[in-house]
C-alpha cells in the first residue's frame, strides 16, 4: 500500500478513547478507511513499518467485509476470543512479518 495515499488523523478522540480503554500511551486504530492516531505523530507512525503493515491489514479487512460487516465480525470475535486472539488481530500481526 502506498503510504502517501493513506488517510491518517492525528490526535483523534477515537484513538484517545482506545488508548484509555487499552491502557496504552499510544494507539493506532482503523475506522473505515482512516487510521486514527493518539500519542504518536503521523511521521513517527509511518517510520514503524510493522505498525503500518498491521494497520494496513485492518484497512484491507474493512474493504473485504464492508464497514458494518467488519465492525460486527470484529466485535463478535473480540467477545468470543478476546482482543489478542481475535482472528482479525491475528491476521494483522501476521501481516507485520510480510
56 is in which domain, residue-wise?
A: 3-95
**Mean pLDDT of successive 10-residue segments in the chain (98 residues)?**
83 96 95 97 96 97 97 97 96 96
Domain count, the chain: 1
The 10s digit of each residue's pLDDT in 20-38 is 999 999 999 999 999 999 9
What is this structure's pTM? Answer: 0.92
Spell out the SS3 assignment of the chain. CCHHHCEEECCCHHHHHHHHHHCCCCEEEEECCEEEEECCCHHHHHHCHHHHHHHHHHHHHHHHHCHHHHHHHHHHHHHHHHHHHCHHHHHHHHHCCC
Amino acid at each position: 500500500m502506498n503510504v502517501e495515499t493513506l488517510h491518517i488523523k492525528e490526535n483523534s478522540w477515537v484513538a484517545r478513547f482506545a488508548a484509555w480503554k487499552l491502557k496504552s500511551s499510544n494507539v493506532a486504530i482503523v475506522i473505515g478507511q482512516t487510521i486514527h492516531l493518539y500519542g504518536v505523530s503521523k511521521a513517527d507512525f509511518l517510520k514503524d513499518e510493522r505498525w503500518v503493515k498491521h494497520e494496513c491489514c485492518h484497512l484491507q479487512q474493512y474493504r473485504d467485509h464492508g464497514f458494518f460487516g467488519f465492525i460486527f465480525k470484529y466485535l463478535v470475535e473480540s467477545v468470543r476470543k478476546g482482543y489478542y486472539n481475535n482472528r482479525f488481530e491475528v491476521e494483522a500481526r501476521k501481516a507485520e512479518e510480510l
